[in-house]
Amino acid sequence: MTPARLWLQVFMAGFAIIAALLIVTLITPIPYGDLSRIGQVSEYEFGWRREPPHVDHALLQATPIPEADILVIGDSFSATHRWQSVLKRAGHRFATVYWSDFHETLCDDFDAWLDRAGFKGKLVVIESVERLLAGRLASTRQCTAMRHPPTSRPGPLFESPEHVPGFALNGSAKLTSGYITYRNTRAAKQSAGPVMLGPRTWSRPVPDGCAMFSHRLCDQALFFKDDDDNGELTTAHVEQMRAFSKAHPARSIMWMVIPNKTTTYLAPDHSKEFVTAFAEAGLGPDLFAFARQQKARMQDFYFPNDTHLSMHGQLALGEAMLRAVVAAAADPIENEDF
């Protein structure tokens, strides 16, 4: 075989491999869930198929902080403004600021910080997902002064798809992502137990999963590794929250702790001591019990391919928060911690 012929065969083999990788990647569904994106698994198997509820975009628009009666301090679970839209529909004016805007911590000058922002409302809702609350409270204990005044965006920080995403060529992905997605998805489908997909995504069996999720591989779902790694909340965290509320009496403070997806579907006793103490302290609604109820009542309460609540779950959460706000306003003595 001549050198030219050998070179041509090597070139054609390499071209065929690259072409095959490109075709596989192009036809691999574009990921729209954070866990399917991080874990590189197929949305064909893990993508939700239940059409999301549609919310009037006017209800998603926040009020400027000086005009709001409720200020939400939240994380990504508040970023779509979907649960807040229920408050607005009921006549409440909300503004939302995010932990990430002020380095994930609240400080000793919290009341003065709100005064500088012009907030004249009576209620502050402090929202945090379970897995991040301990770190935020630890930072808060050591912080004396807020660095930046709170700023509120008029619209959502993040927009979830308004329809089940359809097929589109995946032209912006890396050349090998289609093959990796195929390999990881096959591993998930072939495993009878938990399997780690990438560094931070679990695929885990879910008891009665097909009643709870709409995706094709519904006997299992994707879960965030950080849910396990960040540990449990304890009664000490409840005491820190109570102390913070008492130290800042200028406005009512309602704590809003959203359970991890893993806690909701697979580990109901996770942070059990915290949940009991939190309910007894009256610092806010028991969203752990709420999540346990909703996961059985609603398909896709959490997204199967994401660590967050679905838009169905967000609206149900909004109804729960509206009930808590109304109850706190109707009985200020019993709910003085609010």
What count of other Cβ atoms lies within 10 Å of the Cβ of residue 171? 9
Chain segment 234-250, per-residue pLDDT in tens = 999 999 999 999 999 99
Grouping H, G, I as helix, E, B as strand and the rest as coil, residue 202 is strand
Work out the pLDDT band at 338, boundaries 50, 70, 90.
very low
The set of residues, in sequence order, having a beta carbon less than 8 Å from that of 248 and lying 6+ positions away, is: 110, 111
Burial degree of 237 (CB within 10 A; 0-12, 13-18, 19+): buried
pLDDT at 324 over 90: yes
Cα separation, 211 vs 136, in Å, equals 35
pLDDT at 265 over 80: yes
Checking phi first, is residue 259 left (phi over 0); if not, alpha (psi -120 to 50) or beta? Answer: beta
Question: Token pair of 282, please?
Answer: 């009256």
The percentage of residues in the chain with a pLDDT greater than 70, rounded to a whole number, is: 94
Burial degree of 282 (CB within 10 A; 0-12, 13-18, 19+): middle
216: Cα separation from own chain's centroid:
22
The percentage of residues in the chain with a pLDDT greater than 90, rounded to a whole number, is: 78
Chain segment 65-117, per-residue pLDDT in tens = 999 999 999 999 999 999 999 999 999 999 999 999 988 899 999 999 999 99
Please list the residues that pair with 201 across neighbouring strands: 197, 224
Cα separation, 12 vs 6, in Å, equals 10
Question: Taking the CA of residue 234 as centre, how many other CA atoms within 13 Å lie in the half-sphere pointing to its CB?
Answer: 5
The set of residues, in sequence order, having a beta carbon less than 8 Å from that of 328 and lying 6+ positions away, is: 123, 252, 254, 335, 338
pLDDT at 129 over 60: yes
Enter the pTM of the model.
Answer: 0.92
Beta strands 252-258 and 123-129, pairing class = parallel
pLDDT at 15 over 80: no
By C-alpha distance, which of 301, 292, 146, 153 is closest to 214?
Answer: 301
Task: Write down the mean pLDDT value for the chain.
Answer: 92
By C-alpha distance, which of 86, 75, 93 is closest to 324?
Answer: 86
Which range has the worst mean pLDDT, 31-35, 46-50, 172-176, 297-301? 172-176
Cα separation, 338 vs 328, in Å, equals 7
Cα separation, 11 vs 142, in Å, equals 62
Torsion of Cα atoms, 173 then 179 then 181 then 187, to 10°: -170
Q: Are 277 and 4 in contact (CB under 8 A)?
A: no
Q: Are 326 and 94 in contact (CB under 8 A)?
A: no
Work out the pLDDT band at 13, boundaries 50, 70, 90.
confident
